[in-house]
Amino acid sequence: MPAAVSSPLLFTPSSAPQILKPRSLLPFQTLNLRRPATVSSSRQLAFPGSIRAAVAIEKETPENERPETFLRAADGTDVAAPTSVRGRFERMIREAQDEVCAAIEAVDGGGKFKEDVWSRPGGGGGISRVLQDGGVWEKAGVNVSVVYGLMPPEAYRAAKGEPGDGGGDSSVKAGPVPFFAAGISSVLHPKNPFAPTLHFNYRYFETDAPKDAPGAPRQWWFGGGTDLTPAYIFEEDVKHFHMIQKQSCDKFDPSFYPRFKKWCDDYFFIKHRGERRGLGGIFFDDLNDCDQEMLLAFSTECAKSVVPAYIPIIERRKDMPFTERHKAWQQLRRGRYVEFNLVYDRGTTFGLKTGGRIESILVSLPLTARWEYDHQPEEGSEEWKLLDACINPKEWI
């Protein structure tokens, strides 16, 4: 489910570079994150402390066919019309889903996406597509959702990245908030350790005034980004990826790329590790300081840049020979991916707090990951170079 945040920074990173200690890669059992075949699909995951949604958004209902639109005419012609911002954003994310899925299947050479269509009684629905155990991809998820209704105050604060007491915003404390949220979210985990993981997410969010806070204005904002998470650095790949992001940004504002590149480096920071999840890209959220039409066009351009930014890299790396050592390092970096998504990612937090569709919320997790006690790569090794770049972000172009 799409989420949005209000602050560009989650933390203040240290400016001092960290020194890596050499340590050999020890053999260790890989953690398998697959669901056992004997577990019922209706069984829910258990979390320490019994994380619950205080006021859950309605559960989804499976559907047999994709609707032409998830918007309803009963919600008003101004917001439900195909020409509205809501209508055009939904059309954009659904076209992007089709384009990315087609490109993934073409490169994979055999794997096919499984599709689930679902709706919500309160309004809207989504389309989840997942490819697992393909020829190239271990797991690839590309989801779209268009949902609306009443959001509990706790979920609103999670979406906005605000403190638990509402941050002094009386409208947040007042009661459930009418909202609209649409977005596309994707994580692509290749099998080959020399082929990088890609994440992208583009979303549009609206809120209306709560009934007991009349007169408050409607708020809207855009969010999103595309970022690259390799296990090994090939500079030509990283430069190509960042150049495509810069070209998309420069079509609208030359300040966007440096601003959103830093925002990406800051957002995907694993605070308890002191390192970034990957090698960045662009990231923005709570963006409403420009013309709405321009930001819609910018989000569209960014979504369309995913395939040319990523697929050429996969074509170069998917068939490279690798060793068990390379695979073990990839699995360790996948562990970092899991840590960030479950501990810090606001989209995951928003989904869990609203009782959202758990399979869609956790689709970003890889099938397998690995943890070792106090592992550090040997200084000067290719693994060390990757970790150094995650600790000390670089300007790639």
* Nearby residues of 277 by Cβ (< 8 Å), 6 or more positions away: 227, 229, 268, 269, 270, 336, 337, 340, 390
Report residue 319: phi and psi, to 5°: -110, 10
**Largest alpha-carbon pair distance within the chain?**
63
With 50 as the cut, is the pLDDT of residue 307 above it? yes
Q: Would you state the pLDDT for residue 33? A: 40
Active-site option among 189, 199, 242, 326: 199
Which among 51, 33, 20 has a CA at the least distance from the CA of 335?
33
For residues 152 and 204, what is the distance between their CA atoms, to the nearest angstrom? 18
Looking at residue 79, its pLDDT comes to 65
Q: In this structure, are residues 140 and 134 in contact, taking their beta carbons and an 8 Å threshold? A: yes
Instruction: Give per-residue pLDDT as tens, 6-52.
Output: 332 222 233 334 444 444 443 333 334 443 343 333 333 232 333 33
Which carries the bigger pLDDT value, residue 356 or residue 301? Answer: 301
Looking at residue 128, what is its pLDDT? 96
Q: What is the total residue count of the chain?
A: 397
Q: Which of 26, 90, 13 is nearest to 269 (CA)?
A: 13
- Strands 114-119 and 269-270, how do they pair? unpaired
Query: In terms of Cα–Cα distance, which of 170, 175, 169 is closest to 151?
Result: 175
* pLDDT class of 3 with cuts at 50, 70, 90: very low
Q: Is 199 a catalytic residue?
A: yes
C-alpha atoms less than 13 angstroms from C-alpha of 162 in its C-beta half-sphere: 18
Q: What is the mean pLDDT of the chain?
A: 83
Residue 9: per-residue pLDDT: 26
Q: Label residue 309 by pLDDT band (50, 70, 90).
A: very high
The owner of tokens 């490109």 is 103
Answer yes or no: are the C-beta atoms of 153 and 175 closer than 8 Å: yes
How far apart are alpha carbons 310 and 322 in whole angstroms?
Answer: 20
Q: Residues near 363 by Cβ (< 8 Å), separated by ≥ 6?
A: 128, 130, 141, 143, 187
What pLDDT does 291 receive?
A: 94
Q: Stretch 103-120: mean pLDDT, rounded?
A: 96
Q: What's the pLDDT tens digit per position in 176-234?
A: 888 899 999 999 999 999 999 999 999 999 987 666 555 555 789 999 999 999 999 99
Winning range, highest mean pLDDT, from 144-148, 293-297, 356-360:
293-297
Residue of 219 and 332 predicted with greater confidence: 332
The tokens describing 371, both together, are: 């943890």
State pLDDT tens for residues 115-155.
999 998 888 999 999 999 999 999 999 999 999 888 777 66
Which two tokens mark 29? 């059992």
For the stretch 66-92, pLDDT in tens is 999 999 875 555 666 788 999 999 999
More confident residue, 113 or 167: 113
CA-nearest of 187, 189, 196, 186 to 317 is: 196
